Amino acid sequence: MESKLEDIAQFTGEIDYSDAMSISRKAASDKEYRKKVRELIVDWEDAQEDGDDEAATKAAKAIKALSPEK
């Protein structure tokens, strides 16, 4: 999960590497949180695949909002 979050950080700039690490740590111990993050990662990946930058940015911002260190 952390590597996918790092990809999102690199491509969008909406989250940073510290967000990726803190989200991954929390996801490791919280099943419901992990499920939400995974769903947003899939949304981001789908948007990237479709070339929909707006949807990709929206998904990245939603991931940022879940960051425990925001």
Rounded Cα distance between 1 and 51, Å, is: 22
pLDDT of residue 66: 94
Q: Is the pLDDT of residue 69 over 90?
A: no
Rounded Cα distance between 60 and 9, Å, is: 8
Q: Is the pLDDT of residue 70 over 70?
A: no
State pLDDT tens for residues 21-67: 999 999 999 999 999 999 999 999 999 999 999 999 999 999 999 99
Q: Which residue's entry shows tokens 């690490």?
A: 21
